[in-house]
A and B are shown apart, each in its own frame.
Chain A
Amino acid sequence: MQAEPSGSAPVVVCNLTKTFLDESRGVIRAVDGISFECRESEVFGLLGANGAGKTTTLRMLSTIIAPTSGTARILGHDIVRDPAGVRRSMGFYSASTALYPRLTARETIEFFARINQYPENKVQERVDALIVRFGMTEYAGVRVEKLSTGMKQKVSIARTIAHNPLTVIFDEPTVGLDVLNAIEVQNAIQELRSDGRTIIFSTHIMSEAEKLCDRIAIVHRGRILACDTLAGLRDATGLHYLEDIFLLYVRGPA
């Protein structure tokens, strides 16, 4: 059921596999030959239960960990051969990627723009633009540790795109957030898509996937069981709700 990548899309993933050696369980195949591609201005969703292999896949794409086999290219940069190029071309956001508490909102965005190789002479302009865009003017000079959760979310998204990447990965970005803050994050993702960016978005929340994703890949035990638009998945299964579609693929027909 895996979509075979054509190769010209901004994100192309080919047979990506990751195995871990666990002391008690032996070799674990966390990601098992995943392939997909993401198109321009698209939100591509990885939908799966906890432990399905979503985060491991995204960590490989963001070059935090290396694949055991297979490869992927982000805007033409190979994740194994050119990890620095990959990191320059994408932003990574997850519930576990925190901010430096003792920097101000402005310093945070500035730091990530610089460290992600944004042109030095344009850093201030970019920071100012992001502060205005995310409505952070009032607290741009306040240390992150003193900001509310919602404010921190905005700073976090701003720092993710500080270097203006064309591809952004969101790994379960709304985990632990209340409804209002989760909606803020969802709105930001939709805005980034309308900017023309490619978004890879992982979640286990069906409603989020339904609302945000142009295409959805159902991930289970390290494999993609299905990958299509919501309408395509409905047509293929004859079911309306994504939850039912998900259960059908994961558990098999009743």
Chain B
Amino acid sequence: MNWKDIRTLYLRELRSALRERGIVVYSIIIPVVLYPLLMWLVYTAFSYANGQAAELKSHVMVRTIPDAHQALRRALQEDRAIDVDFSETPQDDIEKGNLDLIIDFVQVQDAPTLAEGNFGIRLTYDASRDESATARARVKRVIDRYRDRFIEREAEKLGISRSQLQGFRVDEINVSSNNEMGRFVLGLLLPVMLVIMLAMGAVYPAIDTTAGERENGTWETMMTSATSRKNILIAKYLYVTTMSFVAGCLNVMAMMFTMRSNLALLGGPSGLSFHVPLVSIPIIVAGAALLALFIAAGMLILASFARTFKEGQSLVSPFMIAFVLPLLFIQSPSQEFTTKVALIPVVNVAMMFRQAISGYFDWKPMAITVAMEILFVTLALKIATSLVEREDFMMDSSGGAFLRFVRRFARSESKGGGTVAG
């Protein structure tokens, strides 16, 4: 390997890339501007839709209510999001969507009647309708408040504590801070975006530097230069890795900015805080670099079979899909970063990102992840190196067809190796 040659070749690749509109758009503009902008638009639309829904009133009917609990009716009437209506045929109206919910007070059978006016409440609603489900949530909130006050009042009358009267109560305390909640949300969103962007950033440069060179006729020009094919390959590889890494990192920074400036607003008064711990940044950067190395190797190998840019796109697209699909696997918040998960490429790095963002570090799966990625990168580079040593590959005798190459390769190897061309 001659690092002076590799540097010359690498700088030539970068210089050409930064002058190509397609590469600048796909690897820089889109990650930095378009996706954060889209995200901002989606969340703006989402919050607008939420705001619109919040203004819609829930139509509720109080069918039966004892005199002792008339205060509940008043509480419902005072709620600006609830309209207390009346219907002759409430059940039909719920099904037709004219009414969202019916409240019935029911006598509690076999219940200790410690408290005066001890009743149960039955809510009838249609869970398949958004409006009805929203009405249930709103009514339940009012009822819970009313019930708490009622129990406290009755306990006071009886001269006992609230817990003595209630017997079994559930209190909820969310111990996570806004910062932790913010990291949880980031942990779900950012790894996926980072992986997609690393792949997006590599696609165009990988095709341009291989199939693009064949199409332009510069491939053969390079083959006659006084540097080894290995140097050419390494320079191209480092170039695609750089573009992938830059696209991924720029996108993450732009997304963080978007989320901090827009999504935090959705959190309302207890707004989420989107801060990544400083100690996590080197892990995220190292993970992104490893993944960029892996993506670049895979895409370079596939794209280099193509003769034209279009062929390159059709060869790389399945790899891109295969690369992004496993990310569905980590969409579940309950998915844990185990040693088994650390063996799955792409998913392991995405999980490592998630863990790093959460600020919690389980070093064993992280170490396995790094080892696995290095293994895959080494394997991919071995394949790429042996490909560029093959004359039939370099001279494109497979006519841009990956499977034809594999067939011919198998045939030539079964005949004792050597090169084939046509």
| A interface with B by C-beta (< 8 Å) | 20-23, 28, 62-66, 84, 87-88, 91-92, 94, 96-103, 107, 111-112, 114-117, 143, 163
Q: Which 5 A-B pairs have the closest CB atoms?
A: A98-B217, A92-B224, A87-B226, A88-B226, A102-B19
CB distance from B181 to the nearest CB of A (A): 47
- Bound Cα distance A149, B107 (Å): 95
- Bound Cα distance A22, B419 (Å): 11
- Bound Cα distance A71, B394 (Å): 21
- Bound Cα distance A110, B223 (Å): 17
- In the complex, 11 of the A-B residue pairs with CB atoms within 8 angstroms, ordered by the A residue number, are A20-B422, A62-B223, A65-B391, A65-B395, A84-B228, A88-B226, A96-B217, A97-B218, A98-B216, A102-B20, A111-B12
| Residue numbers in A under 8 Å from B314 (CB-CB) | none
Not counting A84-B227, A115-B9, a sample of 12 additional A-B residue pairs whose C-beta atoms are within 8 angstroms of each other reads A20-B420, A21-B420, A22-B422, A91-B224, A97-B220, A97-B221, A99-B218, A100-B218, A102-B20, A114-B8, A115-B8, A115-B226
A100-B16, A102-B15 known; A117 and B226 CB under 8 Å?
A: yes
Tell which of B221, B225, B391, B419 touches A99, judged by Cβ atoms closer than 8 Å.
B221
A65-B391, A65-B421, A98-B221 known; A115 and B5 CB under 8 Å?
A: yes
Does B412 belong to the interface (CB within 8 Å)?
A: yes
Tell which of B15, B218, B221, B408 touches A23, judged by Cβ atoms closer than 8 Å.
B408
Determine the residue in chain B with the shortest Cβ distance to A96.
B217
A23 near B422: Cβ-Cβ < 8 Å: yes
CB distance from B362 to the nearest CB of A (A): 46
Tell which of A65, A66, A102, A116 touches B226, judged by Cβ atoms closer than 8 Å.
A116
- Bound Cα distance A92, B421 (Å): 21
Q: Which of B16-50 contact A (CB under 8 A)?
A: 16, 19-20
Tell which of A28, A64, A99 touches B223, judged by Cβ atoms closer than 8 Å.
A64
- What number of B residues sit within 8 Å (CB to CB) of A? 29
A66-B391, A66-B419, A115-B5 known; A100 and B224 CB under 8 Å?
A: no
Q: Mark B388-422, 1 if CB is under 8 A from A, else 0.
A: 00010011010000000000100010000001111
- Bound Cα distance A99, B224 (Å): 13
A102 near B218: Cβ-Cβ < 8 Å: no
CB distance from A84 to the nearest CB of B (A): 6
Determine the residue in chain A with the shortest Cβ distance to B7.
A114
CB distance from A155 to the nearest CB of B (A): 12
Determine the residue in chain A with the shortest Cβ distance to B218.
A98
B226 near A84: Cβ-Cβ < 8 Å: yes
- Bound Cα distance A114, B218 (Å): 17
| Residue numbers in A under 8 Å from B15 (CB-CB) | 102-103, 107
Q: Which of B303-352 contact A (CB under 8 A)?
A: none
- Bound Cα distance A103, B224 (Å): 18
For A22, A102, A117, which residue has the most chain B Cβ atoms within 10 angstroms? A102
| Residue numbers in A under 8 Å from B19 (CB-CB) | 102, 143
A23-B408, A87-B226 known; A96 and B220 CB under 8 Å?
A: yes
A87 near B225: Cβ-Cβ < 8 Å: yes
CB distance from A58 to the nearest CB of B (A): 10
| Residue numbers in B under 8 Å from A84 (CB-CB) | 226-228
| Residue numbers in A under 8 Å from B223 (CB-CB) | 62, 64
CB distance from A54 to the nearest CB of B (A): 15
CB distance from B96 to the nearest CB of A (A): 66
| Residue numbers in A under 8 Å from B217 (CB-CB) | 96-98
Q: Mark B81-93, 1 if CB is under 8 A from A, else 0.
A: 0000000000000
B225 near A112: Cβ-Cβ < 8 Å: yes
- Bound Cα distance A100, B5 (Å): 17
- Bound Cα distance A91, B226 (Å): 10
Determine the residue in chain A with the shortest Cβ distance to B5.
A115
A102-B15, A115-B9 known; A20 and B421 CB under 8 Å?
A: yes
| Residue numbers in A under 8 Å from B5 (CB-CB) | 115
- Bound Cα distance A183, B9 (Å): 33
CB distance from A181 to the nearest CB of B (A): 17
- Bound Cα distance A115, B231 (Å): 10
A100 near B420: Cβ-Cβ < 8 Å: no
| Residue numbers in B under 8 Å from A99 (CB-CB) | 218, 221
B218 near A111: Cβ-Cβ < 8 Å: no
B226 near A163: Cβ-Cβ < 8 Å: yes
- Bound Cα distance A116, B218 (Å): 15
| Residue numbers in B under 8 Å from A62 (CB-CB) | 223-224
- Bound Cα distance A117, B226 (Å): 7
A100 near B12: Cβ-Cβ < 8 Å: yes
CB distance from A18 to the nearest CB of B (A): 9
A20-B421, A65-B395, A111-B8 known; A101 and B216 CB under 8 Å?
A: yes
| Residue numbers in B under 8 Å from A114 (CB-CB) | 8
| Residue numbers in B under 8 Å from A163 (CB-CB) | 226
| Residue numbers in A under 8 Å from B221 (CB-CB) | 97-99
